[in-house]
Structures are given as structure tokens and as C-alpha cells.
Amino acid sequence: MVSETSTSSRFTLRREDAGALREKLRRLWAKRWAKIAAVLLAAPILLYFLLWLLFARGLPSAESLLTYQPALPTNVRDINGEPAQTFARERRVELAFEEFPPVLIRAYLAAEDRTFFSHGGLDYPGFVKAVLNYTLSLGTGDRVAGGSTITQQVAKNLLLGDEYSVTRKIKEAFLARRIENVLTKEQILELYLNQIFLGRNAYGAQSAARAYFDKDVDQLQLHEAAYLAILPKAPSNYDPERRGARALARRNWVLSEMERNGFITPAERAEAQARPLGVVKVPRATVRNVGGYFMEEVRRQLVQRYGEKTEKGANGVYTGGLWVRTSYDGPRQKAAEVALRDGLMRYDRGKGWRDPGLSIDLGSDWQGQLARAPFGVGYEDWRAAVVLEKSGGMATIGFADGTQADLPSYAASMPKRGSATAAFNFLRPGMVIAVKREGAGYVLRSIPEIKGGMVVEEVASGRILAMQGGFDARGDDFNRATQALRQPGSTFKPVVYSAALDNGMTPASIIVDGPFCVWQGAGLGNKCFRNFSGGNAGPQTMRWGLEQSRNLMTVRAANQTGMDKVTKLARTLGVGDYPNYLSIALGAGDTTVIKMTNAFAMLANQGKELKPTLIDYIQDRSGKVIYRADTRPCERCNMRDWDGRPMPRPPLRTKQLLDPMTAYQMVHILEGVVQRGTAQVLRDLGRPLFGKTGTSTGPTNVWFIGGSADIVAGVYMGFDQPRPMGGYAQGGTLAAPIFKQFAQAAFKDMPVVPFRAPAGIRMVRIDRRSGRKVFGEWPSADPKAAVIWEAFKPESEPRRSIRRDYAAKDLPAIAKPRPRRAAAVRRAEPRPESDFLQREGGIY
């Protein structure tokens, strides 16, 4: 056999063209210039990759700009919907791109980025130039021009911050490219014109137009738009007052650039360059910014609910652009401010000048220091001033606006408090003082040390219409209307007597005004109470005891009713949570003005629950209601057209905290306090009013709380560190006159509305002093008449009784039958009672 051997072979197919190409590349790579060219081509790619790894990976997403919302101020409106306050750290008004006029857009393009609509986010020559300039300036401390496009500025302002470094410029470049891929040119410009800082606390072009020219952007002229366009780089460099020449030159340069780019004609450029800057010194306030304690309380509540910025969500007070509707009533707020200030001044008058204890450094910017000083002078014709120098009998004083005046010694002749020396002798340079304009000069004035608070509440809704927490919020931000815990004194007595009325007593119940002591234990012994006057009057009606504010009758009524019932009612009415001590019945427990005022408002509201509110509702920047104080549904309230049916009304949801008849009985008694009691000073106001004065032990605080069927107000006076105000200090002589001054202004045009009695109340004629039922005599208009109408619950009024001797004497006459005809004649005659009821409108 022939043996066969197998052999394996390997074939390699090789294209002739590929081999030739490789050979050519090998020969090319062997040349030096080819290697250099390859490195030069690869370096930018490698560099870009390295820069991306180092800087671009952690950059924020450009897509976030699609939902970006700039920080907007909170706008507050008053009870009539008029602008009243703004809470802002950045003054900004957000506009859509279409709302910016073309002349303004062209001015910014000429000044900042003339190729904006043609580049892809970067101006490469400008970018390289900026990097080279930065490199050359290292070590010099100078900050060179950035060369950024508008897109880069948007990236810097919104996403990166204002760090000055090459690192930021690199991040800027990457982010600008991303922004151009996400947003249109119009969207980028809209962000830019709404975001940029332009000086005078103005953010965005609209706010700047208001700040510099007191106009809206659509009213700007060419030279004004050009001035705004020079401000983005450094607004302070072109301040119209300090650097007017530089600002004018730069503005004219922008106008020249606008001509060069074909945005305006040479004639328009020449005409605009011939115009002055035209910047206003101080723009008119578009919002009044009423300030004061009311608005500060609104701000505090908003911050508590939403935070200042974004720490609690997107609706921060200074960033969220909230729209807030409040119950702020301007005229009544003004009346409360003036009345309380005047009351504080009346108490402080004659006590001498008080050094406010403030001074500033005259060496640098004393005007700014004075403007920032925590010193409020209250009255419109008073001014804060600083003593600049003093020589002989004349002192030179300066004001925050830089003006100066002379203060002669005779204008500061009042003695300094605690001494007999004239206040002028204590003035020294740098001292901050209060002065009042009188004639052609100024006289020294003193800020009172006594403090106080006042609250005005609407009875039907619980809305707070006015609030004053001191002499002036600018110098004292402690709100004594809501924050000061004080003993209410006798203003607490209506709570005691309301509890008594709820537990079997009547306004005609007899209570002994006599010595009353309580055994407190072996360690404390007897606690004996006394009236303010020190005497006692024996058995008297409850009405008389409350009208005359008798302490002994109050503690006796509280003891008979039970202090547990009194303190329970105090908690129910929101006055406070107190222990069951009899001293609490005389107002020894701390509370606030707003709590006491609200309790009296609930009495006037027939015992229905009220929650004091300053804010009616809140809308976010898009107009969506995110909070409403009144949450009751109201069907058909938002109908587009009237359907012919009766007007829709929201349902009543308030709780009945107190028997409406008890509440009315108490209001009816408190009307007597005004007519013939401790608040008689209010009687000549000529309208139905109720109220109660209060004086705490010391006396350290004086109070008055009361009002009409529509509005209730509460006021107190006292020192922040409680101390005696003087033996003459009483609620009826100090606090009630403050309410009277307020009411004369606030109630001037209000209709006279009586307090309405609830169903079931029986109006009965009684003898005012004895509480006995009266027959044959009618009440008169005399407030101190012997016979009055008294309010009783059903089956609780005094009963008619016949003494036995009179009954025996008259029994035959009573038993004797009368002729039918005589009885018929008597029935035909009109009864005097019927005549009276007809004359009085049948209300009884």
C-alpha cells in the first residue's frame, strides 16, 4: 500500500490596497513633522475630555432653567385690595420677553453681546482674550473684563455664582453650550433681563426703570434705555450722582455701538447723546409700605408658615412672589396709632426730657448711621436728628437727608428727667434726639418711657382691622398687642360674671359688697380682699357691682359660682389657662391685649367663636389660593352670571362657646359701665357702646376693652418692666380716653347699630339699685334713672309679690264683681304699656 501523508497549509489573504495604505502611513509617521501635527490635533480633544472630567460632570442641569422662577417679593394688600406693603430683599418685577421694548433689547445687545443671535453660546475670540487677560493679571489684584456672552452671564447668575476664577469661566463655557441647546434665544434674554442686578436694589430691567427713571420699561426713551444697558457690569461705577461724567460717557458709547450695529440712525444717536442722563434722585413709591406693627405681625406669620426663602418650600416670603390679602384698615390703623401715642404722651407730659441713650460716630457717614438708627419718632412732624456740635447757647443738629439746622437753648429748656437742669445742658455731639418743627425752627421732644398696645377687631368675622404695639415700630419692634403678657385687672370681671350668669345668677341678683376673707392654710393664714376705694357698700345688684367695678362683689360671685367654672370659661374664651385661685377673678393672671379683645368681641357676637386673623387669604405667584382664613364652602358664589335665585351665602360654622343669652346679658350690663359706671367718659359719643375698664395692682397696668356691635377695641398702658404708674392711674382716666379718641375718628361715618338681643331674652323693668320688678313706671333717657330695662333669661326675672297686709286690705275690692260693661270699656281703652311699645318700635 502506498501511504498518504496529509499536510496543512495557512493562507493569508491580504488586500494589496490596504497594504499599500499601511505602508504609506508607516513612512509618513516616520517623519518628524507628521508626529508633531498628530500631537497638535489630539491635544484639543484630550484637553476637552480632561476639562469635561474635571469641570463639566458636576454642573447643574440646563433643563432646570425651563422651570426656573426668579426670586420675587411678597405683595401685601389692605382690606380694600389696595397695595399696602412689599416684603423684598431683591426688588424685581418679572416680565415676559414680549413685554420688553425693542429699544431696550437692542441697547443691551449693543452693550453686552452684539452677536447674541448668531453665536452658539460662546464668543470664542472674546473667551480666549478673557483667559489671556486673566493670566496676565495674575498677582496684580486687578479684576479684568470677563468677555462673557449674555448666555454665559445667565449661566453665571443663575447656576454658578460670582466666583472670580478661571475655573468658573470654564464651567461657564460648558454650561452656556448646554443652555443654548435647551432654551431659545428669546427665553435666554427673558431670563437675563429679569435677573440682572442693576443697582439701587433693583433686579431686572423693569425694577431698574422704576428705580432710575420712575417709569415702566415700555415708557423708556432711547437715552434712558442706553443708560440701563451700561449697568450690568458694575452699577456703582456709573452712579449718576457720584460718577455722573463717567456714566454719561459710557451711555454715549452704548449709543454709538447701537448706531454701528444698525439699531439706530445717526440722527437718533446724536439726539440721544445730547440728552442728559435724566435719572431721578428718589423715585415715587409705587407701594405705600405702611409698615408698623400690623405689617410686621403679618410678616412674622408668613415667615412662620412659609419661611424666608426656600427652606420650607417654593413660597418663601422674600422669594416666592406671594400675593397676600389682609384686613388692614388704613384709616382705623391711623386712628389707633395717633390715639395710643397721644395717650402715652399725656401720661408722660410734665415728667421732663428723657435721653433715648443712642449715639453715632460723627467721623464717617453720620447721615447713613442716623437713617439706620433704631429710633422712631412716631409723629409725622417729628424728626430724628443728631447733635453735630454745640457751642454756647446753640447746638447744630443734622438730619438723615444731610440737611442741618440750629437748636437754641430755649428750644430745649425742659428739665432732664430726674433733675432740675435744662435738657440742653446734657446734649453732646453724636447724641440722637427727637425734634419737632415749630415755625422756622425746631424744639426738643422726648419719647415717652411708658408703653402700651392696642387692637381693633371686627365683631362679625374676628378680623383685626388695626394693631399698634408701642409708640413707633421703627424704634421698638416688640409688639405689645400680641407679645406682652400683662395682668388685665378688672377687664377680667366680665368673664367671672358671665360664668355666674351661666350658673343661676341674674343681672339683678343681690351680692354683698362687704369684707371677704379666705383661709389659705396654716402657713399663709387669711387672705382678705378689698375694693379699689377701700370701702364697701353692702348688698347690691350684680349690675351695680360690675358697673362700679367692685372687687369684693366679684370674688364673692366667683366663690359662689366656683373658680373651676370661671377658669374653664376663661380657657373657652381664649383668655388664658389659669389655676383656680380667687385672685384670678380680679385679673391676676397674665394675658395679652389681642386675647382680651377677642373675648369681648365674642360677647358682642352673642357667644359665637371668633379667631382673630390678620390675613384673609394668600395666593402664590401663579394666582392659586394656597391659604384662606375663611374655609367655608359657598356654592354658586363664583357663578359667571346671576341665575335669578337669592344671593348665595356661606353656611355658619362657628361654635357656640357661650350661651347667647348670657353673652347678651353681659353686653347689656357693660353698656351700663359706659352710661353710669367707670367708663362714663365715653357716654357723649352718642351711640350704643359697651366696655370695661381695668386697673391692675400697683397700679402697674391700666386697660379699657369695649366697642360697638360692629367693632371692638382693646388698649392697655404700662411699663415694660412693670412698676407702679402712680396712685392716680386708672383705666377710666388713662385707657378709656385713648379709646374715645380712636372712636371719634373710627366711628365717625359708621351707622349707629344697637346690640341685638337673641331669641328668648326678656326685657323687664326693674329698679336699678334694688333689682326688683317695677310696675307703672317706664325707663327714661336719663342714664342714671331709677328704673331701667334689664335682660333676663326665661323664667329668671323677678316675680311680683303681694304683701299680706295689702292683700287683706284690698281683697274685698279685688273679689268684688265688676260690671260687664265697665270691663268692656276698659278693654277698649289703649293701655299705656301698648303705647310705649308702639312708640319704641316694639323692640321690647
Residue positions annotated with a catalytic role:
112, 490
Cα R_g (the chain), whole angstroms: 41
* Sequence letter at residue 340: L
Calculate the dihedral angle through the C-alpha atoms of 28, 30, 31, 36, rounding to the nearest 10 degrees.
90
Distance CA 156, CA 744 (A): 58
Render the burial of 513-528: b for 16+ CB within 10 Å, e for the rest: beebeeeeeeeeeeee
Distance CA 208, CA 192 (A): 13
Q: Say what angle helices 166-182 and 124-136 make with each other, to 10 degrees.
A: 170
Which grid cell is 323? 400675593
**Cβ 272 vs Cβ 222: under 8 Å:** yes
Distance CA 675, CA 784 (A): 8
H/E stretch holding 511: strand 510-513
DSSP 348: H
Task: Return the SS3 of 82.
Answer: coil
- Residues shown for the chain: 844
| Residue of 690, 606, 713 lying closest to 655 (CA atoms) | 606
| Residue of 260, 258, 321, 285 lying closest to 102 (CA atoms) | 258
Question: Percent helix, strand, coil in the chain (nearest 5)?
Answer: 40, 15, 45
| Residue of 343, 340, 303, 297 lying closest to 319 (CA atoms) | 303
Half-sphere exposure of 417 (CA within 13 A, CB side): 14
Strand segments (E) across 246-313:
none
Beta bridge partner(s), residue 513: 538
Phi, psi of 169 (to 5 degrees): -65, -35
Distance CA 694, CA 716 (A): 9
- Give 482-499 as a 3 state SS string: CCCCECCHHHHHHHHHHH
Grid cell 378709656 is found at 736
DSSP string, 710-764: SEEEEEEEE-SS-----TT--IIIIIHHHHHHHHHHHTTTS---PPPPPTT-EEE
Provide the pairing of β-strand 516-519 with 83-87. Answer: unpaired
Task: Return the SS3 of 609.
Answer: coil
199: number of Cβ within 10 Å: 19
* Sequence letter at residue 459: V
* Sequence letter at residue 75: N
Measured at the alpha carbon of residue 425, what is the angle toward residues 422 and 428, in degrees to the nearest 5?
140
Distance CA 554, CA 2 (A): 144
Beta bridge partner(s), residue 762: 792
DSSP string, 429-455: TTBEEEEEEETTEEEEE---S-EEEEE
